A and B are shown apart, each in its own frame.
Chain A
Amino acid sequence: MKKFQGRVIAPGTVTAEAVVSHGGFNTLASLQGALQFGDKKATCGDQNNPDLHGKELAGKALCLPQTIGSTTGGLVIYCACAMQRQPACMLFSNPIDSLAAAGSILASVWLPDVQMPVIDSLGEEFLDYVKHGMKITVEADGTVTVE
């Protein structure tokens, strides 16, 4: 078990199973197919992401360095939240990027009933340590426990 301290972008607490992307998470490529065609498990459709392609993302603790790709990224996160198909939380090893920040902030401000804690700046060691399937617990102060 190891604890990591990050910065709270969107508050909340949650416990969930980890899914881990070591490369940039392309939000549009990952989620567009799943959201468009009724996949409630939000299976990752990004062919360029060998870590996540084909893995279920809804309800999981998504661990990633940052998001990349289309500037629809934020609204895709917003839509996933509104449709209740979002990850349980998003945990960034790097400082958050503008698209992911937009998505999580839009959801936080405009969808008050939805909770998706977002923590950034967890450090490279976080991504080195966490593996698919590990148990993740997010606390309100940005502490992330991996076990």
Chain B
Amino acid sequence: MFLTDEQQAILAGSQGETMAKVWKTLVMYGEAFGADKMVPVTSKYNHLVTSFGLKMMKPVFDLMQQLIDAGAVSGQQFSVDPRPVDKNVPANFLQNLIFNKIMYATQESYEGQLKELGLMDDNAFTCACYLDQVGNKPQMGEVLSWAESSAVVYANSVLGARCNRNSGIMDIMGSIAGYVPNFGLLTDEGRKATWLIKVETTKKPEAQLLGSAIGMKVMEDVPYIQGLDKWLGTELTDEVCSYLKDFGAATASNGAVGLYHIDNLTPEAKALGGSLMTEEVKVYVIDDAELARVQAEYPVMWKNPDAKPKLCFVGCPHMSLQQLKDWTVAVENGLQEAGNKKVLIPTVFTTAPAVKAEFEKTEYAARLKATGVILSYICPLMYMNNPLCKAMPVMTSSNKLRTYTTARYYTEDEILAKITKGGC
């Protein structure tokens, strides 16, 4: 890889041992992928995946402290994934004990480290940092050093920014150096699709199910998706962006997709069309039967598959303002149809603190509260990440949450029926 004289000097220790190790990490990372050079990070803000003061992450905290002590901090401020605990989310005595005294006992001190490293503000905790209310929304063509799989795939696909699927810690290394290695999704060639996905469903496919099917099929490759514009249209409206947020998160968690193109919709597909595909592509046709097959094959991890759900999470990744409004109306209508006043299963909607604040300024906030739904900024994945939740029948419309926990996946319509009417 080509390095400038200045970069080689840093690598040799001109800015101290810690900075040399930061650069060594990035150079080795680039060399593993045949990067030709280092390119500047051009986004205003960074985004980190590590928001949680989990005790198992002590090695990460130690590394972060090493960076802070050496003055190797970023010039960029950053947002970070959601906080793992919120007292408003239902939890029993034992769960609270485990959350606060055992699992996340280091949350406060870790947040102190994040502030020293350049956290945007006290509320910059969300996986959906690109939402307008949060303010970390990169521009087309900007180079990022982000992690968080759902944010990376959204930034690449919907916003046209350029970011590899960086791991936690590597995200902050690139930001500290101000450079990332040029390979993969940073290059025109790496953004070409090697899969053609033909969507041939008879109705608008469920975002989280379609994303799951594609992710499991293409793994880390780039898919070019035809036929979805029939259902989503050709404009990136709030509703469409919310759909793509959930769709992308499923592609990234059920597989390892970092970029997708949707014919006539996403910015690069609109500009370049089918020329974004390599000469030879593999083809995957998705119809109603294929989506049904994919959903039927999800393992049910509940101890008793027929148990009544004890908790429901909607919002992994965090819900947009539009989704909160749409779900409020849908829950109200569902309850009215069934003659119920409150949701029948404890239900938590999760969103970014900044979106929550904006939502609470609207008339919808009181209406949602009246249905009994709890609104939280929590990370459902982190909430579920303990043995007590393993024994608890939790349901979700998130394919990401399903993948990483024992939560059971249902489509949004199924979730709505269960929480408002008590069945499908």
Contact = CB atoms under 8 A, between A and B. Distances in A.
Report if A and B associate in a common complex: yes
Given A66-B256, A75-B169, A105-B32, A110 B25 contact: yes
A89 to B, nearest CB: 16
Contacts, number: 131
Given A36-B103, A66-B256, A71 B147 contact: yes
Interface residues of A, number: 41
Contacts of A69: 149, 252-253, 256, 403-404
Contacts of B256: 24, 66-69, 97, 99
Given A47-B301, A79-B56, A101 B32 contact: yes
Contacts of B65: none
Nearest to A24: B219
A70 B149 contact: yes
Given A47-B301, A105-B29, A71 B403 contact: no
B49 interface: yes
Given A68-B219, A71-B166, A75-B168, A28 B404 contact: yes
A109 B21 contact: yes
A37 to B, nearest CB: 7
B396 to A, nearest CB: 14
Interface string A10-38: 00000000000000101011001101110
Contact of A47 (B152, B387, B406): B406
Interface size class of B (residues with CB under 8 A): 35 or more
A59 interface: no
B56 A36 contact: yes
Nearest to A67: B256
A105 B25 contact: yes
B164 interface: yes
Contacts of B59: 78-79, 81-83, 111
Contacts of A74: 166-170
A70 B254 CA distance: 9
Given A36-B103, A68-B255, A109-B25, A29 B56 contact: no
A88 interface: no
A97 B59 CA distance: 22
A79 B29 contact: no
Contact of B184 (A78, A98, A106): A98
A83 B57 CA distance: 10
Contact of A72 (B49, B58, B403): B49
16 contacts: A28-B404, A33-B385, A36-B103, A47-B406, A71-B49, A71-B166, A72-B49, A72-B50, A72-B168, A73-B167, A75-B50, A75-B57, A79-B57, A79-B59, A99-B256, A106-B169
Give the top 9 A-B pairs by smallest Cβ distance, nearest first: A74-B167, A82-B59, A102-B167, A75-B168, A71-B147, A68-B256, A102-B170, A35-B56, A101-B32
Interface of A: 9, 24, 26, 28-29, 32-33, 35-37, 47-48, 65-75, 78-79, 81-83, 96-99, 101-103, 105-106, 108-111
